[in-house]
Structure 1
């Protein structure tokens, strides 16, 4: 497990590069809430947007997750706990006024970056008129 990357994966780096090219600045692998022991892949603090790029295996992608043949009980429970923690994280951040965006690693980086940019810019525009 030590060799498995928890940050700076290829999908994350691609999406970060595209978001940065659109002029947006963000924090990488940061805690959106100080008292929550969970980190988002990209955090836009001023507009309260947290972005997660989930791996298909570790987060139980409905399209690509395949239960392992070795020690299936342990790994299936591990993935189920990850999914439950993801839902809990989404709920806690939403209750604190954050917008949560989740993408699967297999999704198009261009599409993900565009949705992130639209969301951040949309929130900024709404905040400017208030």
Structure 2
């Protein structure tokens, strides 16, 4: 069961603006840069991040209808700012629960199972070139 959409709206307007100030610098958080499907505007959404061998994984906590998920999927890419570095990403994939849980750390995997969560979005770092400053 994902978190209610009411919390998503609250996060977008209240929490996210504050969290964006530091999320791209921490090991456990990142900023997902994605372009709006209709507006064409670039959005910056803070999120928990789980680095993978070739990119990043994100637990989809507010459901598959979340704008950042839909925008990344529609564009098949965007950017991720993690630990002060900006990475172009592509190969966007949504892995539904329970398959998606394999991309999560063991402790979070157990929690996601108990909570009925586990949809995960993965992206691949675009090969070539050094990451830019975020």
Q: Mark yes or no: TM-score above 0.5.
A: no
Compare CA radii of gyration and give the structure with the larger one: 1
Greater fraction helix: 1
Q: Give the alignment's TM-score, normalised by structure 1.
A: 0.31
Structure number with the higher strand fraction is 2
